[in-house]
Chain A
Amino acid sequence: MVGVSHNKSRIVGVLALQGAFSRHQNVLKELGVATRQVRTPQDLEAVNALVMPGGESTTMSQLLESSEIFEPLAKRVKDGMAVFGTCAGMILLAKKIIDGRDDQTPFGAIDIEVQRNAYGRQVDSFEADIDVDSLEKPFHAVFIRAPRIASLGSQVKVLAYCGDDVVLAQQNNILVASFHPELTNDIRLHELFLKGV
């Protein structure tokens, strides 16, 4: 697989087990990037980077196992594949999940502890403008039954806050957001992710 990360042949995968994967794919298409839905180990082999969308993290955890994709994905993440996890995707990339299911294993790809549904039920879901490091204008962020980053290690770079909470963070090849950049027509965060791919 050496050399596949060459820009012209790059394919950005979107984990399509469950959740808002088609919306991510739309944003990537708008950016002129070749994309592929990832549901099997074979799909995963064909991509150079991956977006892990929002949805139900417990559902995705089950499907990662039953689709036999957890192990190969864990290996790709460890080998340095760029991954952008939003909401449920962020939960799965974390080192530790708070209020998750007992049988839910995260990838431990970024040194954060994440609390599921930390802002409450759907009636508490909200929109807010946030300032993002390196972006000139604020980003309109949509939080749906959102997880909260409860703690983060010293190697994790904070890229945005909402109130007192870190909502966008990065560590090496891993970018995570507790909100949904795929639900607004703003392509800047996907652009930011692709720069690192």
Chain B
Amino acid sequence: MAKNEKNMTGSMVVKRGLAEMLKGGVIMDVVNADQAKIAEDAGACAVMALERVPADIRRDGGVARMSDPEMIEKIQAVVSIPVMAKARIGHFVEAQVLESLGVDFIDESEVLTPADESHHIDKFLFKTPVVCGATNLGEALRRISEGAALIRSKGEAGTGNIVEAVRHLRSIIGDIRKITQADSAELFEWAKRLQAPLPLVQEIAETGWLQVPLFCAGGIATPSDAALAMQLGAEAVFVGSGIFKSNDPAPRAKAIVEATTHFRDAEIIAKVSRNLGAPMTGIGMDNIQERFAERGW
């Protein structure tokens, strides 16, 4: 048995690999070390460190930016699970800073105020994997062509309303299903319609799935919401405001973790949904000023 040769870091295999490890899990938004600990105790497979949860960003308005490095480091210090953090769309320096902090996953996120109105970050330049949001298959494939290691449906963050996430998941997965039925000539038209690279469309026709995992984000507030996303075809869920904007975060966090694992078992979902206290209040889509999901190109 020979000693090993040279090791390769930061490859696409390694970056997508971490996304694979997060499948079936819940990634929770946290704004301080205490919340991060609660999330880990509840069984989160990763935490997203940010200064304000989306519901507060929506309420406060103004420009939302990358979090304070010190706050991210405090969270890294108290948990052993992966720590993610958000950079603004197109703000590659924020992404460089997050990489230098040793963040495990960077979220190029529409929840923050975009820094570039036509370009996303060239994600191939980073050793750290980057996740991007998408509302439809074309957007997902454009992000993958830029090097995203993971796609999440955008939903509408900070609303506690699952309707947009459902729309986005159905759109992405529905189009994947249609593409698997298309003949080779139709794939050219699909690529044109989706404004996505033809080779990626052809690959989907062959494999029946995206090149990277697909998670759900934006609006999950209850165990049933998480299971709905999973039954629709999401492979894991991000929960933002839904946990720490509820009345009693710890039991709700644990219940959402269990419902995500047992997403086809209604009896278990019923069991874990009992006595969780009030979920976040939430808002209807007609009552929101600004749609975060419309950010990104």
A interface with B by C-beta (< 8 Å) = 16-23, 39-40, 54-56, 58-59, 62-63, 66-67, 87-88, 99-101, 116-117, 120-133, 142-145, 158, 160-164, 180, 183-184
Known A67-B262, A162-B4; judge A55-B23 contact (CB<8 A).
yes
Query: Known contacts A18-B261, A63-B261: does B43 contact A125 (CB below 8 Å)?
Result: no
The docked-state distance in angstroms from the alpha carbon of A163 to that of B4 is 5
Q: Which residue of A lies closest to B16 (CB)?
A: A183
- Given A122-B82, A128-B6, A59 and B45 touching (CB < 8 A)? yes
Q: Using C-beta atoms within 8 Å of the partner chain, give the interface range for chain B.
A: 35 or more
Residue of A63, A99, A126, A129 touching B80 (CB-CB under 8 A): A99
Instruction: Please provide the chain B residues from 241 to 281 with a CB less than 8 Å away from any CB of chain A in the complex.
Output: 254, 257-258, 261-262, 265
Let me know if B261 and A145 touch, CB within 8 A: no
* Smallest CB separation, B229 vs chain A (Å): 15
Q: Taking A131-B2, A183-B17 as given, write out 11 further A-B residue pairs in contact, using a Cβ cutoff of 8 Å, ordered by the A residue number.
A: A39-B262, A54-B20, A55-B22, A55-B23, A63-B43, A122-B18, A123-B10, A127-B14, A133-B1, A144-B18, A183-B20
Specify the chain B residue showing the minimal Cβ separation from A88: B21
User: Binary interface profile of B, 124-142, with partner A (CB < 8 Å = 1, else 0)?
Assistant: 0001110000000000000
Q: Interface 1/0s, chain B 17-46, versus A by CB < 8 A?
A: 110111111000000000000001011111
Q: In the complex, which residues of chain B have a beta carbon less than 8 angstroms from the beta carbon of A18?
A: 23-25, 45, 261
CA distance A99 to B2 in the complex (A): 29
Chain A residues near B14 (CB, 8 Å)?
125-127, 142-144
* Residue pair B17, A123 in contact (C-beta under 8 Å): no
Given contacts A18-B45, A130-B4, A131-B1, contact A62 B20 (CB under 8 A): no
Q: When the two chains form their complex, are residues A58 and B43 in contact, meaning their CB atoms are under 8 A apart?
A: yes
Known: A63-B43, A122-B129. A127 touches B8 (CB 8 A): yes
The 8 Å CB contact of B9, one of A20, A59, A124, is: A124
In the complex with contacts A145-B18, A180-B17, A59-B102 CB distance below 8 A: no
Closest to B25 in A: A18
In Å, the complex CA distance between A59 and B7 comes to: 28
Q: Answer yes or no: B3 CB below 8 A from chain A CBs.
A: yes
Asked if residues B20 and A23 are in contact (CB atoms below 8 Å), the reply is yes
Q: Is B122 an interface residue (CB 8 A)?
A: no
B5 within 8 A of A: yes
Question: CA of A59 to CA of B11 in the docked complex: distance in angstroms?
Answer: 26
Contact status A21-B24, CB under 8 Å: yes
Asked, given contacts A39-B262, A133-B1, whether A20 binds B21 with beta carbons under 8 Å apart, the answer is yes
**Shortest beta-carbon distance, A58 to chain B, in Å?**
6
The contact sample of 29 A-B pairs, CB cut-off 8 A, is: A18-B24, A18-B261, A19-B45, A21-B23, A39-B262, A40-B262, A56-B25, A56-B46, A58-B43, A58-B81, A59-B45, A62-B257, A63-B43, A101-B80, A121-B103, A122-B104, A122-B129, A124-B9, A125-B18, A126-B9, A127-B7, A127-B11, A127-B13, A128-B6, A131-B2, A144-B17, A145-B18, A162-B4, A184-B13
A183 surroundings in chain B (CB, below 8 A): 13, 17, 20
The residue on A at minimum CB distance from B126 is: A123
- Is A129 a contact of B4 with CB atoms below 8 Å? yes
A145 proximity list for chain B (CB < 8 A) = 18, 21, 82, 104
**Quick one: given A56-B21, A59-B25, A145-B18, are A128 and B4 in contact (CB under 8 Å)?**
yes
Tell me if B99 is interfacial: C-beta within 8 Å of chain A: yes
Report if B92 contacts A (CB, 8 A): no
**Quick check: A39 and B261 within 8 Å, CB to CB?**
yes
Give the chain B neighbours of A129 by CB distance below 8 A. 4-5
* Complex contact A117–B9 (CB within 8 A): no
* Most central of B4, B22, B80, B261 by chain A CB within 10 Å: B4
Please give, as numbers and ranges, the residues of chain A lying within 8 Å of B128 by CB-CB distance: 122-123
**Set of chain A residues within 8 Å of B7, measured between Cβ atoms:** 126-128, 162
Question: Chain A residue with minimal CB distance to B262?
Answer: A39
The 10 A-B pairs of least Cβ separation, nearest first, read: A62-B43, A122-B104, A126-B7, A18-B24, A56-B45, A162-B4, A121-B102, A144-B17, A20-B20, A128-B7
B190 within 8 A of A: no
Tell me if B292 counts as interface (CB < 8 A to partner A). Answer: no
Contact B17–A125 (Cβ < 8 Å):
yes
Contact B8 A58, beta carbon cutoff 8 Å: no
Separation of A123 and B11 alpha carbons in the complex (Å): 10
Q: How distant is A133 from chain B, measured CB to nearest CB, in Å?
A: 6
How near does chain B come to A67, taking the closest CB pair, in angstroms?
7
Q: How far is the CA of A131 from the CA of B3 in the complex (A)?
A: 8
Q: Which residues from A are CB-within-8-Å of B238?
A: none
